[in-house]
Amino acid sequence: MAVASATLGPWRPAAAVGALGGGVSLALHLVHGHFGLGILSGAISVAALLFFCVGGSGAVLGYSSHGSGRDRRLRRWARSHPWQVAAVPAGLMFLSDLVIRQALTSQGFFSTLWTGLWHGAVVAAVVGAVGVVGASRK
């Protein structure tokens, strides 16, 4: 149910926010004269973090880019179980951050693992908190 609920999020707007955030991160590093695969991996990681936070938050709040009439029961379930829905984008953030950093940087595995874990925890905290606050307001 959590995976199905997470798929109902506004993923196209989330992709736009992620791309914008990653682009700004990359541009700020370029302005300072730094460039390398570590900078690129950081910008991609920022983009993924924003993507999963916005998309996951929209999923727990019941927003969708698909239309308003689709799967009302699933959206109701997502609003009442925000932490379970938050685990899906958090896990995907962890996995994508792990792959990005292992492929583009020379960080050790445990350093990459730690960074992926705390980035996933940030996504879980943001999406879960948005879901709890949003459910209490309705």
- Which long-range contacts link 98-107 to residues 24+ away (Cβ below 8 Å)? 100/41, 100/44, 100/45, 100/48, 101/41, 101/45, 103/41, 104/37, 104/38, 104/40, 104/41, 104/44, 105/37, 105/38, 105/41
Q: What pLDDT digit, counting tens, does each position of 23-35 carry?
A: 999 999 889 877 7
DSSP string, 48-61: HHHHHHHHHHHHHH
Residues of the chain with pLDDT > 90, as a percent, come to 57
Close Cβ partners of 40 (under 8 Å, ≥ 6 residues apart): 26, 104
Side chain identity, residue 20 = L
**66: pLDDT confidence band, cut at 50, 70 and 90?**
low
| Alpha-carbon separation of residue 24 from 17, 37, 43, 106, 122 (angstroms) | 11, 16, 8, 23, 20
Q: What pLDDT digit, counting tens, does each position of 70-84 carry?
A: 577 777 888 888 899
Q: What pLDDT digit, counting tens, does each position of 75-118 carry?
A: 788 888 889 999 999 999 999 999 999 999 888 999 999 999 99
This model's pTM is above 0.85: yes
CA distance 95 to 48: 11
Helix 109-137 to helix 72-80 angle (10° resolution) is 110
**135: pLDDT confidence band, cut at 50, 70 and 90?**
confident
pLDDT at position 4, please? 77
pLDDT at position 134, please? 83
